[in-house]
Amino acid sequence: MAVYKRTYRGYSGPVTSPLWRFTVLQRYAFKAVFKSRLLLIGYVGCFFAPLLLLCLLYLNQNASVLVLINQKVGFLKVDGQLFMNFLAVQGGLAGILTAFVGPFLVAPDLTNGGLFVYLARPFSRAEYILGKGMVLGSLIASITLLPALLIFGVQGSLVGWTWVADNLFLGGGILLSCLTLMAVFMLMGLAMSAFVRWKIVAGALILAVFAAGKGFGAVINNVMRTENGYFLDLQHLLSTVAGALLRHPADNEPISAWAAAVALAVFCGILLLMLNRKLRVCEVAG
Contact positions vs another protein (CB under 8 A): 1, 3-16, 18, 21, 24-25, 28, 32, 108-109, 111-114, 116-124, 283-284, 286
Instruction: Work out how close the CB of 106 gets to another protein at its nearest, in angstroms, rounded to a whole number.
Output: 11
Choose between 116 and 163: whose C-beta lies nearer to another protein: 116
Choose between 107 and 263: whose C-beta lies nearer to another protein: 107
Q: Would you give the DSSP letter of residue 103? A: G
Choose between 18 and 92: whose C-beta lies nearer to another protein: 18
Instruction: Work out how close the CB of 187 gets to another protein at its nearest, in angstroms, rounded to a whole number.
Output: 22
Distances, alpha carbon 260 to alpha carbons 30, 187, 233, in Å? 32, 17, 10
Instruction: Work out how close the CB of 199 gets to another protein at its nearest, in angstroms, rounded to a whole number.
Output: 11
Contacts of 48 (CB under 8 A, 6+ apart): none
Instruction: Work out how close the CB of 7 gets to another protein at its nearest, in angstroms, rounded to a whole number.
Output: 7
Please list, residue by residue across 164-188, b when 16 or more beta carbons sit within 10 angstroms of its beta carbon and e when fewer do: beebeebbebbebbbebbbbbbbbb
Choose between 21 and 248: whose C-beta lies nearer to another protein: 21
- Distance (Å, whole) CA 33 – CA 185: 16
Contacts of 166 (CB under 8 A, 6+ apart): none
Choose between 14 and 162: whose C-beta lies nearer to another protein: 14
- Of 142, 123, 131, 140, nearest to 105 by C-alpha is 131
228 in helix, strand or coil? helix
Please return the burial class of 212, using the count of CB atoms within 10 Å of its CB with bins 0-12, 13-18 and 19+. middle
Instruction: Work out how close the CB of 200 gets to another protein at its nearest, in angstroms, rounded to a whole number.
Output: 16
